[in-house]
Amino acid sequence: MASGVLAESVSPHSGGTVPDSHRVPSLLAGLGRETSIGPVRASRGLLWTWLPVLAWAAVIFALSSVPGLGTGLGVWDTLLRKLAHMAEFAILGLLLARALPELPAFAAGVAYAALDELHQHFVPGRAGMLLDVGIDAVGLLLGVLLWRRLR
């Protein structure tokens, strides 16, 4: 067999042939290369997929916890903060689309945007705004579309 690839009818566990009808499917089948320690490799793949999502969500949460981000630049301040919202959620959208199909990725991102605005409602000097959820959703859509283009 070439480079450790197992034939369909050979069990990596018994060392002999086992009919496909007698095999027990793994819950993590297809997530990693098939080996006798497949679930270990698959969990590493899950970690590689979800750790960036969780880390970026934590960055968003931390930024949302800052009491006041105003720079005193008037309209420019507002515009720059809204563009920052869009950019941080575009990154989240890209990371979510890397981990999930596009529609669930977008939906999960919008749910997180709504929770982020709820969180900001309780931070002194911040306000949770429905408009920001919409701006975040535009960023999420851009991130998901970018991921589609990069694939």
pLDDT score at 75: 83
> Residue 109, exposed/middle/buried by CB under 10 A (0-12, 13-18, 19+)?
buried
State how far the Cα of 102 lies from the Cα of 106, in Å rounded to an integer: 6
- 56 in a domain, yes or no? yes
- 43 in a domain, yes or no? no
- 5 in a domain, yes or no? no
pTM: predicted TM-score of the whole model, two decimal places: 0.69
Q: Assess whether pLDDT exceeds 90 at residue 103.
A: yes
- 101 in a domain, yes or no? yes
- Residue 63: give the domain boundaries: 49-150
Number of domains in the chain: 1
Residue 67: pLDDT band with limits 50, 70, 90: confident
- 23 in a domain, yes or no? no
Q: Assess whether pLDDT exceeds 60 at residue 150.
A: yes
- 116 in a domain, yes or no? yes
**Tokens encoding 140:** 């999420």
Residue 73: pLDDT band with limits 50, 70, 90: confident
pLDDT digits (tens, 9 = 90+) for 14-36: 555 656 565 555 554 544 444 45
- 26 in a domain, yes or no? no
- 74 in a domain, yes or no? yes
